[in-house]
Amino acid sequence: MKEINQQFDVAHHFVSVLEQDDSMSPGIAAIKTLLMVLEKTKFDTVQELHSTIQSAVRAMRDTDKPMTSVVSGTELFSRFITLAKFDDKTMDEVRDIMLRRGKMFLTKLLESRNVIAKQAIAFINDGCRILTHARSRTVREALILAAQHNKRFHVFITHSAPECGSPNGTISDGQQMATELEKAGIECTIILDASVGYVMETVDMVLVGSEGVVESGGIINRIGTVTMAICAKEMKKPFYVLVESFKFCRLYPLNQRDLPDDYKYRKSDLTNKAKAHPMVDYTAPGYITLLFTDLGILAPSAVSDELIKLYL
């Protein structure tokens, strides 16, 4: 394996990209980091290139950032950039081809949220009441786009525990989401996570984002999502998930225990999981009405077919 340029710290670059752009998903930041690795590293063989990419992914997984979209995004990135034929190419030409394909892949992903938002606004009607969980960048973009189309609605946002809303951790994700939506002229109410059942009967739909979509069509998302989904199912409210296709991952959990530990916990908490709180939970496909993705609007049962297409 070729050593990555001594001056380039993969983990530091990955974390700094996320800190510089608060609206960026960890998966997108990971792909941008891998592109930087390709630019800064010389290779003698394709195998060395693969080994270096895997080493960079491991370095990013050693950080305390959410890992679900990092794993799925980097797997798809590696798959996409190696689809070209390299038989008659020099290594410099191979590297240039991979960089070009990687940048093309990133450009397509950066358009995903806008595609999803355009699909979702058709389901948002004037006067409707929407419940969402914590802070999803994809949901935020869809709601702001709906407001720009002169739709008037009210959003209930779960408070969610302080985690990454601010550098000092005093502002919750729900508060940050409310601030961003109110700036766009959207009426918001922040509610306690424990009051989801109380509020559910007054809303028309639930919109949530997702950190990952598994093969069954279920989702991995911020802790508390499964509670919201169960309440929505019981009260017959549609539960919609807005998620980019690069978050589709090759996992098939049947329950919460089946989720990998590095998806559920921060890296720094893995040594003492008994006292750590999981960051995400798993919501089974039976609780999900539809998934709005850049591949189209999907029923949960269609996810496995789309995963096969992505990895063919």
Instruction: Please tell me whether residues 158 and 183 are part of one structural domain.
Output: yes
Instruction: Please tell me whether residues 157 and 287 are part of one structural domain.
Output: yes
Task: Write down the pLDDT at residue 162.
Answer: 59
Residue with structure tokens 């702001």? 144
Is the distance from CB of 245 to CB of 68 less than 8 angstroms?
no
Q: Distance (Å, rounded) from C-alpha 223 to C-alpha 173? A: 12
**97, 113, 129 - which closes a domain:** 113
**Residue 262: how many other CB atoms lie within 10 Å:** 16
**Residue 36: how many other CB atoms lie within 10 Å:** 18
Instruction: Please tell me whether residues 107 and 50 are part of one structural domain.
Output: yes
Instruction: Please tell me whether residues 131 and 267 are part of one structural domain.
Output: yes
Task: Write down the pLDDT at residue 165.
Answer: 40
Instruction: Please tell me whether residues 107 and 140 are part of one structural domain.
Output: no
Is the distance from CB of 155 to CB of 188 less than 8 angstroms?
yes
Residue 105 has phi, psi (to 5 degrees) of: -65, -45
Helices (H) and strands (E) in the chain, counts: 12, 10
Q: What is the pTM for the complete model shown? A: 0.92
- Does 2 map to a domain? no
Instruction: Please tell me whether residues 35 and 57 are part of one structural domain.
Output: yes
Question: For position 28, which CATH number holds?
Answer: 1.20.120.1070
Instruction: Please tell me whether residues 90 and 128 are part of one structural domain.
Output: no
Question: For position 257, which CATH number holds?
Answer: 3.40.50.10470
Q: How many domains does the chain divide into?
A: 2
Task: Write down the pLDDT at residue 4.
Answer: 55
Instruction: Please tell me whether residues 203 and 131 are part of one structural domain.
Output: yes
Task: Write down the pLDDT at residue 167.
Answer: 45
- Does 4 map to a domain? no
Instruction: Please tell me whether residues 19 and 101 are part of one structural domain.
Output: yes
Which class for 149: exposed (0-12), middle (13-18), buried (19 or more C-beta within 10 A)? exposed
Rg of the Cα trace of the chain? 20
Is the distance from CB of 23 to CB of 180 less than 8 angstroms?
no
Rounded to the nearest 10°, the torsion over CA 64, 67, 70, 72 is 170
Instruction: Please tell me whether residues 60 and 128 are part of one structural domain.
Output: no
Task: Write down the pLDDT at residue 7.
Answer: 55
Closest CA to 221 of 211, 213, 231: 211
Residue 142, domain extent: 115-311
Instruction: Please tell me whether residues 197 and 179 are part of one structural domain.
Output: yes
Instruction: Please tell me whether residues 38 and 53 are part of one structural domain.
Output: yes
**53, 79, 113 - which closes a domain:** 113
Q: Give the three-state DSSP class for 221.
A: strand
**58, 82, 113 - which closes a domain:** 113
Lookup: tokens for 172: 């919750």
Q: Is the alpha carbon torsion for 268, 106, 4, 18 positive or negative? A: negative
pLDDT in tens for each of the 312 residues of the chain?
455 555 579 999 999 999 999 899 999 999 999 999 999 888 888 788 888 889 999 999 999 999 999 999 999 999 898 876 676 778 888 888 889 999 999 999 999 999 999 999 999 999 999 999 999 999 999 999 999 999 999 999 999 875 544 444 578 999 999 999 999 999 999 999 999 999 999 999 999 999 999 999 999 999 999 999 999 999 999 999 999 999 999 999 999 999 999 999 988 888 888 888 899 999 999 999 999 999 999 999 999 999 999 887
Q: Distance (Å, rounded) from C-alpha 25 to C-alpha 70? A: 9
- Does 3 map to a domain? no
Task: Write down the pLDDT at residue 164.
Answer: 45
